[in-house]
Amino acid sequence: MSIKKGCILSALILPALLTGCERPVSFESDVMPILQASCVSCHSGSGEGIQLTELNLTSYGQVMQGTKLGEIVVPGSAASSTLYLVIDHKVDTKIQMPPHHDDKFPQGEGKPLSTEQIAAIKRWIDEGAKNN
């Protein structure tokens, strides 16, 4: 009760980001729109991302299924999750996602995700990668 009141008070005073009182990240309303906008052009249907890796990013079930090599999300640990590592450029530049490097894929080059988008996906994984 008093914790909740504190959150509401500090949310009024400080930007929500600084308070640590944000609501959990939602797969449906936060993560999915990012994937839709920046990833499914290649990771759905006959896109090249699917062709090379079998990674389909069109639903929670598919995201959790991962690539032909295995899972890309380790619930609770973004640092161990390929999904996070490729968007935050913690991998070889050749596999950063969406691709925005010199070796362009036939279907093109994407814009890197924004800091906020990367942070949202990281937090969603760290919060347990729920189907919420």
Output the CA–CA distances (angstroms, integers) from residue 17 to 7, 13, 32, 62, in the order listed. Answer: 12, 11, 21, 30
Q: Does 98 bind ligand HEC (CB under 6 A)?
A: yes
Nearest residue (CB) to ligand HEC, 2 versus 46: 46
Identify the sign of the CA torsion 49, 52, 55, 58: positive
Nearest residue (CB) to ligand HEC, 10 versus 53: 53
**Segment contacting ligand HEC by CB under 6 A, of 5-13, 18-26, 64-72, 123-131:** 64-72
Nearest residue (CB) to ligand HEC, 8 versus 79: 79
Q: Does 52 bind ligand HEC (CB under 6 A)?
A: yes
**80 in the Ramachandran plot: left (φ > 0), alpha (ψ -120 to 50) or beta?**
alpha
Q: Does 38 bind ligand HEC (CB under 6 A)?
A: yes
Q: Does 99 bind ligand HEC (CB under 6 A)?
A: yes
Distance CA 49, CA 67 (A): 10
Residues constituting the chain: 132
Residue 26's nearest CA partner among 97, 103, 132 is 132
Q: From the CB of 38, what's the least distance to ligand HEC, in Å?
A: 4
Residue 67's nearest CA partner among 79, 50, 86 is 50
Q: Which residues bind ligand HEC (CB under 6 A)?
A: 38-39, 41-43, 48-49, 52-53, 55, 67, 69, 72, 82-83, 86-87, 95, 97-99, 105, 107-108, 110, 113
